[in-house]
């Protein structure tokens, strides 16, 4: 059962081979065994999970079960969960019990899912390695001395180590796709505006987007379908009919044009990544897809533009953490300004402080045009590159990250090196496009490699279908990590 | 672009984050590394390019001016550091 797909789990529940309470207990026990090593969960809610599972069993008995009813899942700790610690990986919110549910959490509750707990993450989703968590880093189950990626590292670890069948994540610059790649699982970030940001603690609002992590594209399609939909409480939520993402899964690859941006295959990519990505592309060609060379000439500017825009938005968003209404307040201070400064100095970690300071600077008087406005202009050029590319191809493929998972501590003292690892993911967020990372053909025994597929706006079904077809023909996504056993 | 000690202190004040004397130096070094990376942007001529602030070109929705939420101030204030009579308490601002 631990290795079953969502479809198989739903069939077993339907056939009464197992109850949701039994299934939930199985995963809770596995979390109990593995979490002391992997640190994937910040909070495990055993009582809440068992009571939700019991309600799901009753719902199934009443003949009212949907495709996700009774299925255990984990939420990234960026999503507010009523009555449960919602820390966002920060000391600032280490005392924050949310008074309400995020929209995504409400939707998945209504679908009958069973939340096992909240997963570890880089503080306020700022990081690519999970090392910025106040709760210590989650560890990669393929090699526990290595990072799981970030910021949704705990969610990727939970799915890879089968502590949960599926998990939610968020992706501002690659935070679903890169940990999915590092942990050998599948992760999709949908088009900006399709998943409500209500109750999802904000980092950079014009880039943040909820996403789904699962073992396969098929599982991601089921989870993402249940997370998507208009929400009036998110001012950027798009009013459009819901797509049934499961319907495109069986579309054959014949005729699919895969664009290969030459900028994504240049120097800087590790050999084992190149080999694995090439193996996946060869498989696509064998299955009837064609590849075409394309160019994204401004792609190299995505990192500098991102590291202006995201910190600028973060400096504004995180001004709400002031020790007045919720979160950490310093124990001693002289006056109001001192209370703000000390509460924020104590509550935020080093990387969060740096991004707030960088953002404050680029928005300050005299620098706005040179940095913030210039970054927004580059953002347009980057988005236009993609729309030109999609005149020649249906999806764009390349590596998700330039390397496999690196050792814990290897890059944590060098923010620039850490940022450069986001080279293939951030442009997608600047443009607001959907993209998926799926396991590519890494060598047996090696750390996983992610293949990234980028689609045009609202082409999630096509991405999931292309990923599912590869996963039907190969078993790369079924490989098991052995590092934590 | 490169910041000096006085600038970093000024920015920290604007951001309401106290930097200890020991933190200022390392923070400055790391930020200057990041700013060197950001500096690559200046090599691009963006004359005539419209800034893009958002991925979707949509305008703000309007809604009826009607009450849509219930009063939950007790639930919200239960998690506050200090409240009294429905108010959030902070250090005295005006003597």
pLDDT digits 0-9 by tens, A297-320: 999 999 999 999 999 999 999 999
* Contact between residue A209 and residue A429 where contact means Cβ atoms under 8 Å apart: yes
DSSP H helices, A230-301, are 271-286
Mutation for B interface: A199, A336, A361, most B CBs within 10 A: A361
Q: Which residue bears the tokens 């980092």?
A: A203
- Residue numbers in B near A373 (CB within 8 A): 51
Q: What is the mean pLDDT of residues A322-346?
A: 97
Report ipTM for this prediction. Answer: 0.96
Residue B18: inside a domain = yes
The DSSP element (H or E) to which B13 belongs, if any, is helix B5-14
Tell me how long chain A is: 485
* Contact between residue A57 and residue A19 where contact means Cβ atoms under 8 Å apart: yes
Minimum CA–CA partner of A316 in chain B: B15
Which sequence spans correspond to the domains of chain A? 6-258+392-478
Whether the pLDDT of residue A484 is over 70: the answer is: no
Q: Are strands A290-294 and A435-439 parallel, antiparallel or unpaired?
A: unpaired
Residue among B11, B20, B33 whose CB faces A360 most closely: B11
The DSSP element (H or E) to which A420 belongs, if any, is helix A415-420
Q: Which residue bears the tokens 């396969």?
A: A216
| Structure confidence by residue, pLDDT tens digits, A367-382 | 899 999 999 999 999 9
Whether the pLDDT of residue A331 is over 60: the answer is: yes
- Residue numbers in A near B35 (CB within 8 A): 358
| Structure confidence by residue, pLDDT tens digits, A411-436 | 999 999 999 999 999 999 999 999 99
Instruction: State how far residue A384 is from chain B, nearest Cα, in angstroms.
Output: 11
The total number of structural domains in chain B stands at: 1
CA distance A118 to A77: 5
Evaluate the omega torsion of the peptide bond into residue A238 and state whether it is cis, within 30 degrees of 0. no
> Helix A350-362 and helix A302-317: axis angle, to 10°?
100
Instruction: Please state the φ and ψ torsions of residue A200, each to the nearest 5 degrees.
Output: -105, 110
Q: What is the mean pLDDT of residues A270-287?
A: 96
- Residue numbers in A near B78 (CB within 8 A): 99
Identify which of A325, A442, A298 has the alpha carbon closest to the alpha carbon of residue A379. A298
Evaluate the omega torsion of the peptide bond into residue B85 and state whether it is cis, within 30 degrees of 0. no
Residue B88: inside a domain = no
Residue contact A380–B51, C-beta within 8 A = yes
Instruction: Please state the φ and ψ torsions of residue A203, each to the nearest 5 degrees.
Output: -110, -75
Q: Which residue bears the tokens 């699982």?
A: A185
CA distance A177 to A185: 9
pLDDT at A294: 98
Residue B27: inside a domain = yes
**B11 HSE (CA, 13 A, CB side):** 26
pLDDT at B50: 95
CA max distance for chain A: 70
Residue contact B41–A381, C-beta within 8 A = no
Residue B34: inside a domain = yes
Identify which of A436, A203, A396 has the alpha carbon closest to the alpha carbon of residue A307. A203
pLDDT at B1: 67
Question: In CATH, what is the architecture of A6-258+392-478?
Answer: Alpha-Beta Complex (3.90)
Residue contact B40–A353, C-beta within 8 A = no
How is residue A422 written in tokens?
Answer: 């986001």
| Structure confidence by residue, pLDDT tens digits, A150-178 | 999 999 999 999 999 999 999 999 999 99
DSSP A126: -
**B49 HSE (CA, 13 A, CB side):** 19
pLDDT at A483: 63
pLDDT at B63: 86
Whether the pLDDT of residue A219 is over 70: the answer is: yes
pLDDT at A441: 79
Q: What is the mean pLDDT of residues A43-62?
A: 98
Q: Which residues on adjacent β-strands are paired with residue A141?
A: none
Boundaries of domain holding B14: 5-43
**B44 HSE (CA, 13 A, CB side):** 27
Whether the pLDDT of residue A485 is over 60: the answer is: no
- CATH of residue B19's domain is 1.10.20
**A71 HSE (CA, 13 A, CB side):** 28
Q: What is the CA radius of gyration of chain A?
A: 21
Catalytically annotated residues of A? 76, 151, 175
Q: How confident is the prediction for chain A on average, in pLDDT? A: 96
Between residues A446 and A402, the one the model is more confident about: A402
Query: Taking CB atoms and an 8 Å cut-off, how many pairs form between chains A and B?
Result: 164
Residue A141 falls in which region: left (phi positive, over 0), alpha (psi -120 to 50) or beta: alpha
Residue B12: inside a domain = yes
């Amino acid at each position: 059962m631990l290795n079953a797909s969502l479809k198989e789990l739903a069939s077993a529940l339907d056939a009464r081979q197992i109850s949701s309470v039994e299934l939930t207990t199985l995963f809770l026990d596995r979390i109990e065994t593995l979490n002391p090593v992997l640190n994937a969960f910040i909070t495990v809610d055993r009582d809440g999970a068992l009571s939700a599972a019991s309600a799901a069993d009753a719902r199934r008995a009443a003949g009212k079960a949907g495709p996700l009813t009774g299925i255990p899942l984990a939420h990234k700790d960026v999503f507010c969960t009523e009555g449960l610690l919602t820390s966002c990986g920060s000391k600032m919110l280490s005392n924050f019990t949310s008074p309400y549910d995020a929209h995504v959490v409400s939707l998945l509750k209504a679908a009958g899912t069973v939340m096992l707990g909240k997963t570890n993450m880089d503080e306020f989703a700022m990081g690519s390695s999970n090392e910025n968590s106040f709760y210590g880093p989650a560890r990669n189950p393929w090699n526990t001395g290595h990072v799981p990626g970030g910021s949704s590292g705990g969610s990727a670890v939970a799915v890879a180590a089968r502590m949960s069948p599926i998990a939610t994540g968020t992706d501002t610059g690659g935070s679903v796709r890169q940990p999915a790649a590092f942990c050998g699982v599948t992760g999709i970030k949908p088009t900006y505006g399709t998943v409500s940001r209500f109750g999802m603690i904000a980092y950079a609002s014009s880039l943040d987007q909820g996403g789904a992590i699962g073992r396969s594209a098929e599982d991601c399609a089921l989870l993402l379908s249940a997370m998507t939909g208009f929400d009036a409480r998110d001012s950027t939520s798009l009013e459009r009919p819901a797509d049934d993402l499961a319907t495109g899964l069986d579309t054959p690859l014949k005729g699919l044009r895969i664009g290969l941006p030459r900028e994504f295959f240049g120097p800087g990519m590790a050999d084992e990544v190149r080999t694995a990505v090439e193996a996946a592309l060869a498989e696509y060609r064998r299955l009837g897809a064609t590849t075409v060379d394309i160019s994204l000439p401004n792609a190299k500017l995505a990192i500098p533009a991102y590291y202006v825009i995201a910190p600028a938005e973060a400096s504004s968003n995180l001004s709400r953490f002031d020790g007045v209404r919720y979160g950490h307040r310093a124990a001693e201070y002289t006056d109001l300004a001192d209370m703000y400064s000390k509460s924020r100095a104590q509550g935020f970690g080093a990387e969060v402080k740096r991004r707030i300071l960088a953002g404050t600077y680029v928005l300050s008087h005299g620098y706005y045009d040179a940095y913030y406005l210039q970054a927004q202009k580059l953002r347009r050029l980057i988005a236009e590159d993609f729309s030109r590319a999609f005149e020649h191809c249906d999806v764009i493929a390349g590596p998700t990250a330039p390397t496999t998972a690196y050792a814990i501590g290897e890059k944590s003292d060098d923010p620039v090196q850490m940022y450069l690892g986001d080279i293939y993911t951030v442009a997608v967020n600047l443009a607001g496009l959907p993209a998926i990372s799926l396991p590519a053909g890494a060598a047996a025994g090696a750390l996983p490699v992610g293949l990234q597929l980028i689609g045009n706006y609202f082409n999630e079904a096509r991405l999931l279908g292309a990923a599912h077809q590869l996963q039907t023909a190969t078993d790369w996504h079924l490989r098991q990590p052995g590092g934590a056993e | 672009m490169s910041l000096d000690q006085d600038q970093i202190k000024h920015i920290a004040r604007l951001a309401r984050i106290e930097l200890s004397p020991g933190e200022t130096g390392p923070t400055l070094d790391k930020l200057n590394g990041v700013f060197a990376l950001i500096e690559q942007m200046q090599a691009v001529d963006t004359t005539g390019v419209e800034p893009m602030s958002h991925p979707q070109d949509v305008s703000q929705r309007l809604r009826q001016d009607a009450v849509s939420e219930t009063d939950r101030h007790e639930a919200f204030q239960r998690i506050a550091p200090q409240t009294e009579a429905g108010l959030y308490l902070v250090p005295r601002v005006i003597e």
